[in-house]
Amino acid sequence: MVTQATPRTHPLDPLSADEIVRASSIISEQFGSPESLRFLLVAALEPAKGVSEAPRAAEAICINIDSGLTTEAVVDLDAGAVTSITELPGVQPPALFEEYERAEAAIRADAGWRTAMSLRGLNDQQIDLSFIHLWPTGNFGSRWETEHRILKGIVYLRDEPDDNAYGRPVEGLIAVVDLAANRVLEVIDAPSPVPPVTSLRFDHDHGGPHREDLKPLDIIQSEGPSFTLEGHLLRWQQWQMRVSLHPREGLVLHQIGYEDNGQLRPICYRASLAEMVVPYGDASVGHYFKNAFDSGECGIGRLVNSLELGCDCLGEITYLDGVVTDERGGARTIKNAICIHEEDVGLLWKHTYRHPDERGSQSWLRRSRRLVISTIATVDNYDYGFYWYFYQDGAWEHEVKATGIVQTMAIEDDDPQVTRHKIGQRLAGVHHQHFLSYRLDMEVDGRQNTVFEVDTVPLPLGPENPYHNAFTAQATPIADESLSGREVNASAGRHWRIANDSVRNPLGEPPAYVLTPGATVSMMADEQSIIAQRAAFARKQLWVTAYDFAQRYPAGDYPAQSEPGLGIPEWIDSNRSLEQADVVLWYTVGMNHLVRPEDWPVMPVQRAGFSLKPWGFFDRNPGLDVPQPDHCEHDIERRTDLQAHHPHNSHS
Ligand code: CO
Q: φ and ψ at 318, to 5 degrees?
A: -115, 135
Q: Which of 155-164, 434-443, 625-634 has the weakest average pLDDT?
A: 625-634
DSSP state of 96: P
Whether 349 contacts 628, CB under 8 Å: no
CA dihedral 227, 228, 233, 235 (to 10 degrees): -40
**pLDDT band for position 402 (cuts 50, 70, 90):** very high
For the segment 557-610, what is each residue's pLDDT rounded down to a tens digit? 999 999 999 999 999 999 999 999 999 999 999 999 999 999 999 999 999 999
| pLDDT at 634 > cutoff 90 | no
| Cis status of the peptide bond prior to 601, with omega within 30 of 0 | yes
CA nearest to 56, candidates 8, 88, 96, 101: 8
| pLDDT at 648 > cutoff 60 | no
Whether 290 contacts 174, CB under 8 Å: no
Strand partners, 334: 322
CA of 354 to the centre of ligand 1 (A): 49
3-class secondary structure, 338: strand
Residue 288 annotated to the active site: no
Measured at the CA of 493, the angle between CA 489 and CA 499, to 5 degrees, comes to 105
For the segment 335-382, what is each residue's pLDDT rounded down to a tens digit? 999 999 999 999 999 999 888 887 788 888 999 999 999 999 999 999
Measured at the CA of 139, the angle between CA 136 and CA 143, to 5 degrees, comes to 105
CA of 434 to the centre of ligand 1 (A): 6
| pLDDT at 7 > cutoff 80 | no
What is the rounded average pLDDT for all residues in the chain? 94
CA of 502 to the centre of ligand 1 (A): 43
Distance (Å) of CA 598 to CA 144, 199, 429, 590, 602:
38, 15, 11, 21, 8
Write down the pLDDT at residue 1. 45
Rounded to a whole number of angstroms, the CA Rg of the chain reads 27
Choose, from 258, 382, 547, 587, the residue flagged as catalytic: 382
Choose, from 178, 282, 294, 599, the residue flagged as catalytic: 294
More confident site: 7 or 68 = 68
The Cα 585–Cα 610 span in angstroms is 13
Residue 382 annotated to the active site: yes
DSSP state of 117: H
CA dihedral 198, 199, 202, 203 (to 10 degrees): -80
Question: How many residues are given for the chain?
Answer: 652
CB-count exposure of residue 357 (10 Å: 0-12, 13-18, 19+)? exposed
